[in-house]
Amino acid sequence: MKELKDLKLKDKTSLKGLSLENLNKELKDSESKFFILRMKLATDELKQTHLIKFIRRYIARIKCIILEKTV
């Protein structure tokens, strides 16, 4: 994961079009990417620390959309 485009994040409109099942799958995938980035940061392998901010906000966005769909 060298760049932001390597994270393969979806935009808000495409996330809203997904079903709850697909959103939960996307959430799991994003959380695993976030874990990998955190481990790389801890071992000083991550040079682009801004990726952590993007993936953290992406996870929050997914959780908000899941909450909207369940209510």
Q: Of 58, 51, 56, whose CA–CA distance to 3 is shortest?
A: 51
Helical (H) or strand (E) element with 30: helix 20-42
pLDDT tens readout for residues 13-44: 888 999 999 999 999 999 999 999 999 999 99
Model confidence, pTM: 0.88
> Where residue 47 sits, what CATH number does that domain have?
1.10.287
Give the whole-angstrom CA distance, residue 57 versus residue 68: 17
Q: How many domains does the chain have?
A: 1
Query: pLDDT-derived band of residue 58, with 50, 70 and 90 as boundaries?
Result: very high
Q: What is the pLDDT of residue 2?
A: 59
Residue 26 sits in which domain range?
4-70
Phi first, then psi: give them for residue 58, nearest 5 degrees. Answer: -65, -40
SS3 content of the chain, % helix, strand, coil (to 5): 75, 0, 25
Give the whole-angstrom CA distance, residue 68 versus residue 71: 5
